[in-house]
Chains A and B, each alone.
Chain A
Amino acid sequence: MNKSKSSATFVVTRFEFLRQVKKPSFWASIILIPVMLAAIGFIAFLMNSDTVSKVNQYDEESVIAVSDEANLLPAEAPFLIDGGREAGLNMVKNHEADLFFFIPADFNESKNIEFYHISEGIDIFGSESNAIKVILNQYLSQNIDPAVVTAITGQFSVQNNPLTETGEPSNALGRAIVPLAFLVIFFLFICLFGNRLLMTVVEEKENRISEMILTSVSAKHLIIGKILAMCLLGLIQIASFVLPAITLIIIFRDNAIISQVLSIISLEPLSLILTIVQFSFSILFIIGLCTFIGAISPTAREASQFIAPVIVGSVFPLYFIQAFLVPNPNVMVEFLTYFPLSAPIALMLRSAFGTLTTTQLLIGISEIIILSLLAIRITIRTFVKNAINFNLVLPTFLTKRG
């Protein structure tokens, strides 16, 4: 008559999964996510106009060099250099110039100006390219006849070519795309599933089912079953916006922007594996935290008071995203990287922006793995102890004195 352990877990998983997918609220959130993502994308696009801050990265002391093979600029212009693209590139590599513009001989046909500078920054929405146009416009206006400037800059596009410190073409954006995609999924998971995770644990206590169910199945299998169900639901949720996105990418793969993005995506096997491990355990950690709150709380109402600080704490690094972009992070970024609550998102940001050494990344991932396993273990123990306590009870290790 005894059920095998894995079978009991599977029974709980199936039950919890089916009862959640039967809820209209679950499907409402499935539909809302792509809409929400589209809205976020639109807002981000609008923020594209935020060129001032980018322009301010370059001050009056920045050295600008221009190679004009189209002979558009007056020969006496002080910033003009000889030697074409190669000479300009060498100046940037040797830090003799901060910015180098190359106007090709076929400019009148292509209307394209190439731009080179050392940058590990990420031109996600083209704001850097827009900033470059402003810089070029301002610089030319200060140095040559405005009428000539107008003639040149009336219609042109900038081909942004960021370089690494060693002068190699930088693909910071390409490397960041996949980790950032995981970060977006993680963020959405927290927002959508935090409360659902709470409810699924609190429900037994709130409805006084704990005693009956805990004589039928162990707390460990009950909690693990619930967690697996939540993971399955999370996969559906993720698929609900990943699949439409992939479909759209396939349909519009010939679009200039999409094909450019696809061409720069960098998928190094090791970093992809580390990203997936980091993402999976981050999800497990958040699940552990949310279920822990559910385990110590007697009712959903009380549990929801605790979930807000957890969510805010988890997404806290996103408020300081600019600080995460710089190659040498400050103390706050270092703190957020290893502080348990903020560690998952902080690590994802830093590994996306390439500001972590491999050792730092491995330490961070190890921390998240340990934290997630610890959170699940504490949750199981707490759930057993508090299953029939209908008041808020913290686990012994949090309340023990001296």
Chain B
Amino acid sequence: MKNIVEIKHFRMNFGNKTVIRDLSFEVKAGEIFGFLGSNGSGKTTTLRALLGLYTPTSGELLIDGKPYDPEHSNITIGYLPEERGLYRKETVLDTLIYFGKLKGLDDPAEWAMKYLKRVGLVDKAKEKLEKLSGGQQQKIQLGITIMDNPKLLILDEPTKGFDPINRRLLMDIISELHKKGTAVILITHYMDEVERLCDRAILLKNGVAHAYGTISEIKKQFGNKSLDQIFVEVYGGENE
């Protein structure tokens, strides 16, 4: 299967601090890839560098064979960042239409109404975003991320702050996109989500890949323990 993401010997320093030492991995087209690590391990930094928001100290980060540039890229990307917000004074519908136009949708208004109906927010279409709850705003952010059926979907802790019902809704949406051929990079601290959704994963520790492969390969490497147990084993000592 073709690699949609290739990261080769990526190193990232911030001043004298090295966040990523030497990281290499690939994400294959159409797979769901778990990007795991404790808080501050460099997951978000890696994704930002992959999307051209940070300049790597060294190494190559490629999407579809080349460094990502929204101006010249032929591949559609959906990115739900960890630090996320919206134009608080704008209405839900105006915001969705704006991003829809930026992403090249033919009829963003129609798409927006369909999506709002699906996530139960159709009655909020004319509301200003600041009037919505945190969870409702997250649904809008997710909508923006997936609206152009991206070939690569990058989700940085997408279920943070979601109740179980909305978590399930999000999982369903990810599954649907996966079936359509979207590759997904999923950062999460919920190991059940990884077990349920991911084909392969990487565990990032001390700026390098601590474990990398299919979920079953990783489990095998740790004596067939559950991912929860593996996570605690790998990162448990960090908070002591």
Contact = CB atoms under 8 A, between A and B. Distances in A.
Interface stretch (A2-10, A343-351, A364-372): A2-10
B36 to A, nearest CB: 20
Contacts of B141: 212
B47 to A, nearest CB: 9
Given A11-B102, A216-B103, A211 B90 contact: no
Interface string B200-223: 000000000000000000000000
Interface of B is mostly: loop
Interface stretch (B19-27, B78-86, B189-197): B78-86
B180 interface: no
Interface residues of B, number: 34
B76 interface: yes
Contacts of B83: 208, 211, 388, 390
B70 A218 contact: yes
B98 A15 contact: yes
A214 interface: yes
A208 B70 contact: no
B98 A211 contact: no
Contacts of B98: 11, 15
Contacts of A215: 51, 70, 77-79
Interface residues of A, number: 27
Interface string A187-218: 00000000000000001000111011111111
Nearest to B149: A1
B66 interface: no
Interface in B73-106: 73-74, 76-81, 83-90, 94, 98-99, 101-104
Given A211-B53, A215-B79, A1 B71 contact: no
B48 A216 contact: no
A199 to B, nearest CB: 11
B90 A1 contact: no
A221 B102 CA distance: 11
Interface in A205-236: 207-209, 211-218, 220-221
Nearest to A218: B71
B148 interface: yes
A1 B101 CA distance: 10
A1 B75 CA distance: 9
B71 A212 contact: no
Given A211-B53, A211-B81, A211-B84, A1 B70 contact: no
Given A209-B86, A217-B70, A387 B53 contact: yes
9 contacts: A1-B103, A11-B101, A207-B85, A207-B88, A211-B79, A213-B102, A215-B77, A215-B79, A388-B48
Given A3-B103, A218-B70, 9 more contacts: A8-B102, A19-B87, A19-B90, A207-B85, A208-B81, A212-B79, A216-B99, A216-B102, A217-B70
